[in-house]
Amino acid sequence: MELERPAPGEVHVSQAIQPAHANLRGELSAAQLLKWIDAAACLAAEKHAGVSCVTASVDDIQFEETARVGQVITIKAKVTRAFSTSMEIHLKPVTLLTEQDHVEHNLASERRKVRLQHEDTFKNLMKESGKFDDPTCDEEEGTVSTRGTSVQSIELVLPPHANHHGNTFGGQIMAWMETVATISASRLCRAHPLLKSVDMFKFRGPSTVGDRLVFNAIVNNTFQTCVEVGVRVEAFDCQEWSGGRGRHINSAFLIYNAVDDKEELITFPRIKPMSKDDFRRYRGALARKRIRLGRKYIISHKGEVPLCIHWDTGNQVSLSNGNVEALKSLAAKSGWEVTSAVEKIKIYTLEEHNILSVCVEKHVERPAHLAYHLLSDFTKRPLWDPHYMSCEVIDWVSEDDQIYYITCPVVNDDKPKDLVVLVSRRRPLKDGHTYTVAVRSVILPSVPPSPQYSRSEIISAGFLIRAIDSSSCTVSYFNQISASILPYFAGNLGGWSKSIEETAASCIQFIENTTDDGLISIF
């Protein structure tokens, strides 16, 4: 039998999961897995570089499945790109053999850009968050303080914890961090927390055999069914230990879920910041969550099964009504959380089962019926939305339903995108106050994909327009984001772009600057 041979710069490591590797649930502990991942990555790096390597930083780690005692896992580590460093060592470029190698090579460059701008992005988001408070923090009952979640642990670095140079394994430090963070999270949920992800972090300095490592963990914030725990690590040699002055070598942020006896996710209580430091950590967690959402596209870059429906003229009433109901169902879901609030504009996000949705809420000083007429006519969309180059009606299905062909500009040096969408609009029912404009992609045989464009997809999107009074309204734009349109949102959600806020402001200006006379002449 011919065995699979790893490519250059690639390492395969198989491990049998023993009881000592498992947690109380009989599942492979995240701490053990982090050690194995770090070791495999180091072996791959050394295979490429030809010299000893140490872990400098770790991007987001997402835990999607569990493994149990008795199972065997295989860890595949691969060098995807080599960058210049401050060391006097020239790293040879990575040989790209397959199309997948080229994809991973390009993604490595994108991830590096995110790493380099992470600190500036975080500072900007923290500065922005200081302009508004979380309105639910003071009003909601059942909020709790995080003081009882503070945990400290001390570890002595011994030879088995270090490499042959005496430097502590990065994976070992991560494992100890996971242990203390788990204890902290458990004090809030009173159940066994399950590590969901580890936020991107880098090692600020080394630790060696003989160091005392002090780990301090505390809950920073909660988000519905997950909680963020911050861990700070300081290293002390003998002199530093007696003097009480250590070296800050790392900080990391770990995100947990917890389940009850029925294996259903537990909803965590909301956090009520008490001190100045509590508020700093609370807002920092909000900023990091926003960055994680934006980075998710770059880190995972997963494809998806197209969900477009085939347009059927014999079933057009059902398809149109389904389009409207899908938008209303998306808007009615629980768990929407504010990620940004500036003047007349608020941005909410919703994560469920690895599906990301966005809501952009705008306050408009014009009547709801005017906003509805302007926003339901997609031929006017390019007048205020820079993400739309052209919109033309290709099938006038009915007075309330049209199919549009849309072209979009280039993003990330890719081909421009195009879409074929069904737009279904509904006025309020009797005594109602909400206008609806629903959008989703459809497949139309008369408009096949073009080699000039990358055909994109809208799963469910649109506007809900609610009258506040006779002269103002709230316009809420919803979008259940597909992989093909996520590049348009990722930068904004991650905090390194303001495109959503700028587009929302342009939309407000477009509606508020349109006169009733202008509306009559247009329609």
One domain, residues 369 and 322: yes
The answer to whether 309 and 326 have CB atoms below 8 angstroms apart is no
State the CATH number of the domain containing residue 286.
3.10.129.10
**Assigned domain for 272 exists:** yes
- Tell me if 349 sits within 8 A of 357, measured CB to CB: yes
Q: 462 with 396, same domain?
A: yes
pLDDT digit string (tens) for the chain, length 523 residues: 455 566 667 888 899 999 989 888 889 988 899 888 888 888 888 888 888 887 777 777 778 788 999 999 998 888 776 655 533 344 456 566 666 665 555 555 555 555 555 666 667 666 766 654 554 444 456 788 888 899 999 999 999 999 888 999 989 999 999 999 999 999 988 778 999 988 867 788 899 999 999 999 999 999 888 899 999 999 999 999 999 899 999 999 999 999 888 888 888 888 888 899 999 999 888 888 877 776 665 555 444 445 678 888 888 889 999 999 999 999 999 888 887 778 889 988 888 776 788 899 999 999 999 999 999 999 999 999 998 999 999 999 999 999 999 999 887 657 888 999 999 999 997 766 799 999 999 999 999 999 999 888 899 999 999 999 999 999 999 999 876 666 666 656 655 567 888 899 999 999 999 876 544 333 3
| Residue 275 shares a structural domain with residue 368 | no
Query: For residue 493, is it within any domain?
Result: yes
Which residue carries 């080699």 as its tokens? 451
263 with 291, same domain? yes
In a domain, residue 303? The reply is no
120 within domain boundaries: yes
Counted domains in the chain: 2
Instruction: Provide the sign of the torsion angle of the four alpha carbons 486, 353, 138, 286, taken in this order.
Output: negative
Say if 248 falls within a structural domain: yes
Per residue in 176-231, pLDDT (tens digit) is 999 999 999 999 887 789 999 888 677 888 999 999 999 999 999 998 888 999 99
Same-domain pairing of 315 and 286: no
- In a shared domain, residues 276 and 318: no
Quick one: pLDDT at residue 19? Answer: 92
The parent domain of residue 319 ranges over 309-517
β-pair partners for 515: none
CA 19 to chain centre: 33
Which of 376, 372, 507, 381 lies closest to 435, judged by CA? Answer: 372
Q: What is the pLDDT of residues 133-154, one digit of tens each?
A: 554 444 456 788 888 899 999 9
Interatomic CA distance for residues 119 and 131, integer angstroms: 19
Q: Are residues 280 and 171 in the same domain?
A: yes
Give first-to-last CA distance, the chain, whole Å.
73
Q: Is the same domain home to 292 and 322?
A: no
Question: Residues 184, 120: one domain?
Answer: yes
Q: What pTM value is reported for the model? A: 0.67
Per-residue pLDDT, 523: 37
318 and 271: one domain?
no
Residue 201 and residue 250 share a domain: yes
How far apart are the C-alpha atoms of 111 and 113, rounded to whole Å?
5
Q: Roughly what angle, to the nearest 10 degrees, separates helices 499-512 and 368-375?
A: 120
Beta bridge partners of residue 482, listed in sequence order: none
Asked if 294 and 321 sit in the same domain, the reply is: no
Q: Which residues of 161-194 are buried (b: 16+ CB within 10 A; e: fewer)?
A: bbbeeebbbbbbbbbbbbbbbbbbbbbbbeeebb
The CATH number covering residue 455 comes to 3.30.530.20
Shortest CA distance to 311 belongs to which of 329, 323, 303? 323
Query: Does 139 reside within a domain?
Result: no
Q: Give the end of a domain, one of 275, 298, 321.
A: 298
Specify the 3-state DSSP secondary structure of 53.
coil
Q: Which of 256, 271, 298 is the last residue of a domain?
A: 298
Query: Is residue 140 included in any domain, yes or no?
Result: no
> 401: alpha, beta or left, given left = phi > 0 and alpha = psi -120 to 50?
beta
Quote the pLDDT of residue 113: 58
* Domain presence at residue 65: yes
The vertex-186 CA angle with 182 and 187, nearest 5°, equals 125
Residue 143: helix, strand or coil by DSSP?
coil
Q: Name the domain boundary from 253, 269, 298.
A: 298
With beta carbons less than 8 A apart as the criterion, state whether 379 and 368 touch: no
